[in-house]
């Protein structure tokens, strides 16, 4: 059988398996919903009790129905009020305008606002400021400060000044994504000038605001402190079959041209309501039934939460044609950001390797909009090996939640209290980590009825990211065919269709069409604009005054729950069969083309492996192994000991170590960039030349006082922080080297020999510790023999 035949057979088998599992899940859900109905006690209800239950239930049902529709009426009224007010950001905090980018030389519809701390909370202007960029993905700004327990709230409680980057409903004519990035960089410059005594601002980017934050970091790396991106799609082709259907949308729709067509129908503006429809498409059960049934079934307690969320969910913002074209071409379809092909001006592309600041990535296994593969795979695209990542001096920390959904990443109070609180706490320490990839884990500790959290950082390798995705990412190859198809169709559209459609649509016509978009119509149609609903408020007041809740254990309530469960399961069955069909169509359409492209790749000449020792930063560091001062010697000793350890670092331990020796090492008084430079250089030396790093240590300590100071420091650390056997042995070796140097003036240490691996980067300080341990044992035997 040919390779194409094998692929088509596999696609058919997978499709059949998907459909079978979808039907089985439906049957299981129906069976589970029916279990309570099989209880014999419900089959022997006396007629009078059944009649009483039915009458009580239908009174309650009628009241709930009235209150349900009145809540939807309130939603519509809230939407109209928000529209009339100009759709201001829905922040749970007061704020003041700092800079309006509509007045900049290259104007854009963005602004910088400062969050005003609520009563009882004080912020210190000399503490590092936080800047939060919310997604411009259909909705308006505010998701990062939607509640008191939020990213904004956590940072304020920690005493940090907080700023938010907001945007207005209408784009400025002619603005581009490059203009937006320049404006956001200017905002960071303004924040830095407002807080001159602090370190560079921390940048929080949510969802689509995540890649926007990374663009700013790439364009102006000297303005940005640590970057935290939450639920942010960076590698758009990534995902797993059967789990992430949104990644197929570009191929099924034919690439870029639908967005261009929608922009032309909007008189040059793209309606964000279309993006919201994409989100709702993923879970039709929730979109069309579950969220409304939850409101209906909990009508006495749910309306406030429902209305609060719908105020944000129902605010639809616009982009201009150039912006959505760039986003779809470079991100959704082209996946160019990690490859370095996303241009911000002609011939100038965003290079994420230009980012100097540490990066924290927060994703969730329960997120079907930005799955972990899309949040993390760009790291492997950018850096083929762990050594390449380190050679660029980059620190990346990954945090994975086990279950929360996409919106929960931003609005969940539990996530704010647990994950974001620890992220804010870690910010002060992350800049002093040596370059590398780290996994972050939040540990919960319960003692005396109180819950405390600690953060565990574990060193990872780029190769570890492969476990996130099946098939070694070979299933991403068809997306290259999608990109080529998209370019051809978009070119044809721009040549033959755009010149005729665009002149026919006026701004007034486009505005009228947007008003009747289903996302908007469902809100204004169920509001006080509808005269048929005017009696509803009075009826709702009467229903609230005479509420008669039902018996939740009665037969009628049980029948309602069964109906709701089966309805939701039916929607899920539709979704599963639809997604399986879309996936099957995608791979049948683009799979054959990807086979030819794979053959071309196999015929291409393999690239020479990159020798990271020749990277400029690494070569520069290795040229100065025997040079430095007391601070660099202390940092080198600390790195040698850490590398000989388990590869794990606890935030509580890092705090304790800073209290013990932080000031004495000398990094705390330095600017963050200078401290990072020392740590990075010494990390290169320890990683690539651990033997020379150790033996040259006495040369960095020129005076007896300096050597004594390091020995005292090691004594204090060893007494306070638990060390493993290798670290204890290495500590002894360092003491011996420094003691010999101190007594003789020249190092007499027996040379340490390590069998170098083919890749020198694979030489680890553990090997140094092992040889030091062996030599220590020999010295003891010699001592016993002489005595």
pLDDT of 42 strictly over 90: no
**Which residue bears the tokens 């109180």?**
450
| Structure confidence at residue 519 (pLDDT) | 95
pLDDT of 758 strictly over 60: no
**Shared-domain flag, residues 411 and 500:** no
Identify the residue with better confidence: 88 or 751.
Answer: 88
Identify the residue with better confidence: 726 or 582.
Answer: 582
* Residue 608 included in any domain: no
The whole-angstrom separation of Cα 379 and Cα 394 is 11
pLDDT band at 234 (very low <50, low <70, confident <90, very high): very high
**Shared-domain flag, residues 32 and 50:** no
**Shared-domain flag, residues 286 and 426:** no
Q: Are the CB atoms for 168 and 136 separated by under 8 Å?
A: no
Q: How many domains does the chain have?
A: 5
Average pLDDT score over the chain? 87
> Which of 52-56, 93-97, 347-351, 624-628 has the lowest average pLDDT?
347-351
| Structure confidence at residue 504 (pLDDT) | 95
| Structure confidence at residue 783 (pLDDT) | 41
pLDDT of 668 strictly over 90: no
Query: Which positions ≥6 away from 696 have C-beta within 8 Å?
Result: 625, 626
The residue from 468, 484, 499 where one domain ends is 468
The three-class DSSP label of residue 420 is: helix
pLDDT band at 777 (very low <50, low <70, confident <90, very high): very low
> Mean pLDDT throughout 204-233?
94
In the chain, pLDDT over 70 holds for what percent of residues? 90
> Mean pLDDT throughout 260-273?
97
* Residue 734 included in any domain: yes
| Structure confidence at residue 609 (pLDDT) | 59
What are the CA-CA distances from residue 33 to residues 21, 29, 45, 294, 295 (Å)? Answer: 18, 6, 20, 16, 20
> Mean pLDDT throughout 430-456?
89
* Residue 415 included in any domain: yes
CATH number at residue 442: 3.40.50.1820
Q: Are the CB atoms for 269 and 171 separated by under 8 Å?
A: yes
What are the CA-CA distances from residue 381 to residues 385, 470, 599 (Å)? Answer: 10, 16, 21
The three-class DSSP label of residue 249 is: helix
- Please write the tens of the pLDDT for every residue from 166-177: 999 999 999 999
| Structure confidence at residue 346 (pLDDT) | 66
Which stretch, 101-105, 400-404, 675-679, has highest mean pLDDT?
101-105
| Structure confidence at residue 721 (pLDDT) | 67
> Which of 450-454, 689-693, 756-760 has the lowest average pLDDT?
756-760
**Shared-domain flag, residues 589 and 643:** no
**Shared-domain flag, residues 76 and 138:** no
pLDDT of 458 strictly over 60: yes
| Structure confidence at residue 654 (pLDDT) | 86
pLDDT band at 671 (very low <50, low <70, confident <90, very high): confident
> Mean pLDDT throughout 512-519?
96
Q: Are the CB atoms for 239 and 374 separated by under 8 Å?
A: yes
| Structure confidence at residue 43 (pLDDT) | 59
Rg (CA), the chain: 31
* Residue 215 included in any domain: yes
**Shared-domain flag, residues 480 and 374:** no
**Closest to 513 (Cα-Cα) out of 267, 169, 261:** 267
* Residue 193 included in any domain: yes
pLDDT of 208 strictly over 80: yes
For 49-75, letters b (16+ CB in 10 Å) and e give eeeebeebbebbeebbebbbbbbbbbb
The whole-angstrom separation of Cα 316 and Cα 519 is 9
> Which of 318-327, 582-591, 746-755 has the lowest average pLDDT?
746-755
**Shared-domain flag, residues 391 and 248:** no
pLDDT band at 670 (very low <50, low <70, confident <90, very high): confident
| Structure confidence at residue 658 (pLDDT) | 82
**Shared-domain flag, residues 328 and 380:** no
pLDDT of 780 strictly over 50: no
Residue 139 backbone phi and psi in degrees, to 5? -90, 175
The three-class DSSP label of residue 104 is: coil
The whole-angstrom separation of Cα 764 and Cα 665 is 24
Q: Side-chain half-sphere of 328: how many Cα atoms within 13 Å?
A: 27
* Residue 555 included in any domain: no
**Shared-domain flag, residues 734 and 669:** yes
Domain that holds residue 17: 1-39+570-603
* Residue 350 included in any domain: no
- Other Cβ atoms less than 10 A from the Cβ of 429: the count is 18
| Structure confidence at residue 650 (pLDDT) | 87
In the chain, pLDDT over 90 holds for what percent of residues? 63
The three-class DSSP label of residue 523 is: helix
pLDDT of 108 strictly over 90: yes
**Shared-domain flag, residues 126 and 182:** yes
Three-state SS string over 113-136 comes to EEECCCCCCCCCCCCCCEEEECCC
pLDDT band at 198 (very low <50, low <70, confident <90, very high): very high
The whole-angstrom separation of Cα 239 and Cα 583 is 12
| Structure confidence at residue 448 (pLDDT) | 78
**Which residue bears the tokens 């004495």?**
664
| Structure confidence at residue 652 (pLDDT) | 87
Total residue count of the chain as it appears in this document: 787
* Residue 564 included in any domain: no
69 DSSP assignment: H
**Shared-domain flag, residues 474 and 447:** no
> Which of 325-329, 647-651, 660-664 has the lowest average pLDDT?
660-664
pLDDT of 475 strictly over 50: yes
DSSP β-bridge partners for residue 130: 162, 202
**Shared-domain flag, residues 421 and 482:** no
| Structure confidence at residue 103 (pLDDT) | 97
Q: Side-chain half-sphere of 684: how many Cα atoms within 13 Å?
A: 26
Q: Are the CB atoms for 113 and 142 separated by under 8 Å?
A: no
Entry pTM = 0.89
């Amino acid at each position: 059988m040919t390779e194409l035949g094998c692929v088509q057979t596999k696609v058919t088998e997978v499709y059949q398996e998907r459909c079978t599992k979808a039907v089985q899940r439906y049957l299981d859900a129906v069976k589970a919903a029916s279990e309570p109905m099989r209880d014999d006690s419900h089959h022997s209800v006396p007629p009078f009790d059944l009649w009483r239950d039915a009458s009580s239930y239908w009174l309650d049902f009628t009241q709930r129905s009235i209150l349900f529709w009145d809540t939807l009426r309130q939603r519509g009224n809230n939407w109209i009020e928000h529209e009339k007010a100009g759709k201001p950001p829905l922040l749970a905090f007061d704020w003041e305008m700092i800079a309006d980018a509509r007045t900049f030389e290259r104007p854009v519809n963005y602004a910088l606002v400062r969050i005003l701390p609520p009563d009882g909370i004080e912020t210190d202007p000399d503490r590092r400021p936080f800047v939060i960029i919310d997604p411009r993905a259909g909705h308006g700004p505010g998701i990062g400060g939607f509640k008191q327990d939020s990213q904004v709230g956590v940072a304020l409680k920690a005493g940090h000044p907080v700023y938010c980057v907001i945007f207005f409903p209408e784009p400025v004519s002619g603005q581009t994504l490059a203009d937006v990035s320049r404006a956001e960089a200017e905002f960071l410059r303004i924040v830095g000038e407002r807080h001159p005594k602090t370190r560079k601002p921390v940048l929080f980017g949510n969802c689509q605001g995540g890649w926007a934050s990374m663009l700013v970091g790439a364009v102006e790396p000297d303005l940005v402190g640590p970057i935290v991106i939450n639920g942010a799609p960076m590698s758009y082709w990534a995902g797993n079959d059967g789990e992430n259907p949104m990644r197929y949308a570009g191929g099924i729709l034919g690439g870029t041209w639908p967005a261009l067509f929608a922009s032309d129908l909007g008189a040059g503006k793209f309606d964000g309501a279309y993006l919201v429809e994409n989100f709702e498409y993923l879970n039709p059960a929730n979109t069309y039934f579950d969220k409304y049934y939850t409101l209906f079934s909990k009508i006495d307690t749910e309306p406030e939460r429902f209305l609060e969320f719908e105020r944000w969910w129902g605010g639809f913002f616009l982009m201009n044609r150039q912006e959505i074209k760039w986003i779809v071409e470079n991100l959704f379809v082209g996946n160019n950001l990690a490859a370095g092909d996303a241009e911000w001006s002609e011939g100038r592309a965003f290079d994420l390797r230009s980012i100097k600041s540490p990066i924290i990535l927060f994703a969730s296994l329960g997120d079907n909009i930005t799955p972990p593969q899309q949040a993390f795979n760009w790291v492997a695209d950018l850096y083929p090996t762990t050594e390449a990542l380190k050679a660029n001096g980059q620190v990346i920390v990954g945090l994975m939640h086990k279950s929360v959904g996409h919106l929960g990443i931003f609005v969940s109070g539990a996530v704010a209290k647990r994950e974001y609180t620890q992220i804010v706490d870690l910010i002060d320490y992350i800049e002093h980590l040596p370059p590398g990839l780290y996994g972050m884990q939040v540990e919960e500790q319960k003692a005396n009825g109180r819950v405390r959290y600690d953060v565990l950082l574990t060193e990872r390798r780029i190769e570890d990211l492969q476990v996130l995705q099946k098939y070694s990412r070979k299933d991403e190859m068809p997306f290259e065919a999608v990109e080529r198809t998209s370019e051809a169709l978009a070119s044809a559209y721009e040549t033959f269709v755009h010149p005729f459609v665009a002149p026919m649509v006026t701004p007034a016509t486009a505005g009228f069409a947007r008003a009747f978009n289903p996302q908007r119509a469902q809100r204004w149609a169920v509001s006080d604009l509808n005269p048929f609903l005017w009696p509803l408020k009075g009826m709702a007041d009467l229903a609230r005054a005479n509420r008669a809740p039902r018996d939740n254990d009665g037969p009628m309530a049980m029948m309602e729950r069964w109906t709701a469960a089966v309805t939701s399961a039916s929607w899920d069955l539709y979704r599963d069969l639809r997604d399986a069909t879309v996936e099957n169509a995608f791979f049948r359409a683009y799979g054959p083309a990807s086979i030819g492209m794979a053959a071309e790749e196999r015929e291409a000449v393999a690239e020479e492996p990159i020798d990271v020792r020749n990277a400029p930063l690494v070569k520069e560091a290795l040229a100065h192994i025997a040079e430095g001062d007391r601070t660099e010697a202390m940092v080198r000793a600390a790195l040698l000991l850490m590398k000989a350890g388990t590869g794990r670092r606890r935030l509580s331990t890092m705090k304790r170590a800073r209290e013990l020796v932080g000031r004495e090492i000398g990094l705390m008084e330095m600017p963050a960039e200078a401290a990072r430079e020392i740590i990075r250089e010494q990390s290169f030396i320890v990683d690539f030349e651990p033997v020379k790093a150790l033996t040259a240590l006495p040369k960095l300590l020129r005076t007896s006082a300096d050597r004594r100071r390091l020995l005292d420091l090691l004594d204090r650390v060893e007494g306070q922080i638990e060390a493993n056997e290798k670290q204890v042995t290495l500590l002894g070796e360092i003491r011996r080297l420094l003691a010999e140097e101190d007594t003789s003036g020249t190092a007499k240490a027996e040379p340490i020999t390590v069998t170098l691996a083919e890749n020198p980067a694979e030489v680890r300080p553990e090997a140094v510790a092992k040889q030091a341990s062996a030599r220590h044992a020999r010295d003891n035997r010699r001592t016993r023999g002489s005595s």
